[in-house]
């Protein structure tokens, strides 16, 4: 990410203008990965901002020039060791349009199964957790799943009937 500044004016009222800072960030991807027996492949990892372990979906940064669906498949395999049938991007949201200029794609991967070892970055420590699809709503409702981009990704899958 790079902190940048630019002059912006309202398209409706040019008098409403000023200099604003924002974070220039690469695109991100989250993966809704579903096993053949109906479990969602999720990860548990320590998040420094909150200072605690969170329950999330696999995901990460889309490399320059990388297809978002391919990035999702790569992140899933690296973080969980799972692979399946890549169904492509099923939705996009803005990370936080007040301060970020990037988008987050949701990739759906079905018929997942364990395909190998995790390949984590040096400081990553990720636990894999298989959650029955029928429990996901309650985990969101109870606040156990609280990462806004993960909730959005799960909603994209639910809207599609996954």
Closest to 43 measured CA to CA, from 12, 88, 82: 82
Rounded to whole angstroms, what are the CA distances from 88 to 119, 121, 153, 162? Answer: 22, 25, 13, 13
Instruction: Band the pLDDT of 21: cuts 50, 70, 90.
Output: very high
Task: Choose which CATH entry (3.40.1440.10, 3.90.79.10, 3.40.50.300, 3.40.980.10) describes domain 26-159.
Answer: 3.90.79.10
Q: pLDDT digits over 147-159, tens only?
A: 999 999 999 999 9
Rounded to whole angstroms, what are the CA distances from 116 to 12, 84, 109? Answer: 54, 12, 16
Complete DSSP assignment for 119-130: ---TT--EEEEE
What's the pLDDT at 123?
A: 85
Largest separation between any pair of C-alpha atoms in the chain: 58
Q: pLDDT digits over 86-125, tens only?
A: 999 999 999 999 999 999 999 999 999 999 999 998 888 8
Q: Does residue 27 surpass a pLDDT of 90?
A: yes
């Amino acid at each position: 990410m790079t902190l940048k500044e630019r002059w912006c004016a309202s398209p409706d009222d040019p008098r409403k203008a000023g200099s604003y800072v924002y974070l220039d960030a690469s695109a991100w991807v989250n993966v809704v990965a579903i096993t053949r027996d109906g479990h969602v492949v999720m990860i548990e990892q320590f998040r420094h901002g909150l200072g605690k372990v969170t329950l999330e979906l696999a995901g990460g940064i889309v490399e320059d020039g990388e297809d978002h669906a391919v990035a999702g498949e790569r992140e899933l395999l690296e973080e969980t060791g799972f692979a399946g049938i890549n169904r492509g991007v099923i939705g996009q949201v803005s990370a936080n349009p007040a301060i970020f200029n990037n988008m987050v794609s949701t990739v759906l991967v079905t018929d997942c199964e364990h395909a190998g070892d995790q390949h984590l970055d040096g400081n990553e420590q990720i636990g894999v957790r298989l959650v029955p699809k029928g429990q996901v709503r309650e985990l969101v409702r109870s606040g156990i799943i609280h990462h806004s981009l993960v909730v959005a990704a799960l909603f994209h899958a639910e809207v599609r009937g996954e």
